[in-house]
Structure 1
Amino acid sequence: MSVKSHSLVMLRRNVTHLTRNPTSVFNAILMPIIIMLMFVYMFGDAFDVGVDYIDYATPGLILLAVCYGLGGIATAVNSDMTKGIINRFKVMHVSRAAILGGHVIAAVLTNLIAIAALVGVAFLLGFDPAASLLDWFGVAGMVVLLGFAASWFTVALGLAAKSPETAGLAAVPLVMLPFFSSAIVPAEKMGPGLRQFAEYQPFTPIIETIRGLLNGAPDTGDAVIAVAWCVGIALVGFLWARFTFTRRA
C-alpha cells in the first residue's frame, strides 16, 4: 500500500475513535458553542467593543473552537504510543508519515465541522459579517492553516508526554492562550503587562486576520504575521513530532 492509502486507513481509524468518544466530541464541537452562548448572553453587554458583541467575538471563538479539540488529539497520540499500537503498525510496515498524518488530518476535519457549527449558531444569534466570497475563502484558508499548525504541535506534545493523562494536560496552555488574546476583548482594554502579552502572542494576529476578513477589510500586516506564526508552529511541531516518534518508537 502507498503512503496515501495508509493515510486514508489511519484517518478512518482516528475518525472512528473520535466518534465513539463522547467527551472528545463534546470538547471539540459543543463546548465552543456553549462558550459562545455564555459570553454573548451573560457577558456581552459588559464589554464595550464598538460593535455588536457577537460580531466582535465570533472570530476569537473560531480560534477557540480549533483549540478546544487539541486535548483529545494529544491523548489519542500518546495512547497509541504508550499502549504499543505504534509497534504493531511498525510490524505491519505502516508508513510513519501516515500514522502521524492521520491524526493531523482527522483533527483538521473535526475543526472544520466544529467551526461550521459555531458559525451557524453565530448567524442565529445575529452575526452579520461584511465578508465577500473571497474573504470567506480567506477565512477558510486561515482556519485550515491554523488547524494544521496547532495539530502538528499537539501531536508533538502527545508524543513527548509520559502518559495519556499528562498528554491531555500538556495541551491546556494552548486552550487557555486565546483568553489572553484579543479573542474576548480588545487588547488595548487590558491592563499593563497583560496588554503587551496579548498584543505579541501568536493568536492575536491570527484572530485579527480572521476578524478583518469577516469585516471585509483584511489587514495585510496582520495576515503576514498570522501566516508566519502558523508556518513556524507547524514546522516546529512537525520536526519535534518526527524526532520524538523516531526516538520513542
Structure 2
Amino acid sequence: MDRQQISRLAHAHHPIAAPLADESVARLLDRATAGREEGRALDLGCGEGAWLLRALAARPGWQAVGVDLDARALTLARETATALGVERRIGLHHQDATEFTAKEPFDLVLCVGSTHAFGGLLPTLAAARELLSPSGRLLVGDAFWQREPSQAALDGLGAAREDYADLATTTDRVMAEGWTPVSGYVSTEHEWDDYEFAWTGTLAEWVLDHPDHPDAAAAREAADRHRTEWLHGYRGTLGFVTYLLRRD
C-alpha cells in the first residue's frame, strides 16, 4: 500500500491533515479571509481539498485553486465540491506544488502541513511569495520543538534535531524572511491527541473491516508503527503552529 493511500484512509475521519480541530480551522479561515467578500485562494498540497471546500462553502464570492500529486485525493475533492455545489468555483491541478505557476496572484495562499513538499518552512515561504498578491495573506502551518527532543522522539519522527526549532526561533526565522505574523495559532495537546488517535484508529479500523484485503497487513503495520512512534516518542515534544502572514 503506497503512502498516499495510507494517508487517505488515515484521514477519513480527520480530513484536515494537521492537528487542528474544526473550530480552529474555522477561526483561521475567518481571520485569513477577513475584510474580503471576494477573493482567490490557493492551497499548495491540498489533498482532498478540505481547507478550500470549507472556505468556498461559507464564502460565495471566493474562488479557489488546489494543487496536489495525489490524483485519487483530487477526484474525491471534485466529488465533494459537486455535492456542496461549489464545483464551478474551484480548479484542481494534478501537479507538483513546487512547479505550479499562475498568471494572476492570489489573495490567500495556504500550505498547512505540506511544507515538506518544498523542503521545509522557509522554502515554502519563498514559493508562496511568488504566488501571493502584495496585500495578500499566507496561511502556513508547520511543526516546531515544543521541548528539547529526546532520541526516542527523533527516532519516532525520523527527524534530526536541526529539522525544527523552538517556537520563538521559528517565528524569528519567518520574520527574517520578510513576513509579519498578523495572527497565529498553536495546536493544543488535545488537538494533537485527537489527530493522532484519528489517524491510527481510522487506519486500524479499516484493517478490521477488510481483513482479507491484500494490503491489510501493511496498513496494520503502518497504524501500529505510527501509534508507537507517537506515544513512545514525540508526544508532547513536537508542536504545531499555524501562522497567518503578510509580506513586509
Which one has a larger percent helix, Structure 1 or Structure 2? 1
Which one has a larger percent strand, Structure 1 or Structure 2? 2
Q: Same fold (TM over 0.5)?
A: no
Relative to the length of structure 2, the TM-score reads 0.27
Q: Which has the higher contact order (CA 8 A, sep 6+)?
A: 1
Relative to the length of structure 1, the TM-score reads 0.27
